[in-house]
Structure 1
């Protein structure tokens, strides 16, 4: 387990037949610096709020039922 924690992966076998893999979990970062966020935002595609709303209206039913009204 120490080796897996350090990044090593293993193939699990039964009777010489591969049946699985033991791999380290990918850890996701929870914090992105303001500078890094700004750099990513500069290269992101544009966002059209009006187009998004129009697409939502086309797909969603405007008359949502109250789930508690039974």
Structure 2
């Protein structure tokens, strides 16, 4: 749930609000008790090192491409004809 804060709180308590954003909290900003905007954290991109990923999946079983395609075709309609 969003925390409602006034324009004055945003100006005077920006440090606390920034820490809240870093923690994933969302804020609704009001002016004269009317909501005027929302502050919410951005999604951060998280990259995984390719070497580490290879190490994690090193013991995984190999994927049979033909069997995988058959499984997908069984579940999804991938016909090239227009649906219409």
TM-score normalised by length of structure 1: 0.42
With a CA cutoff of 8 Å and minimum separation of 6, indicate the structure with the bigger relative contact order. 2
Question: Which one has the bigger helix percentage?
Answer: 2
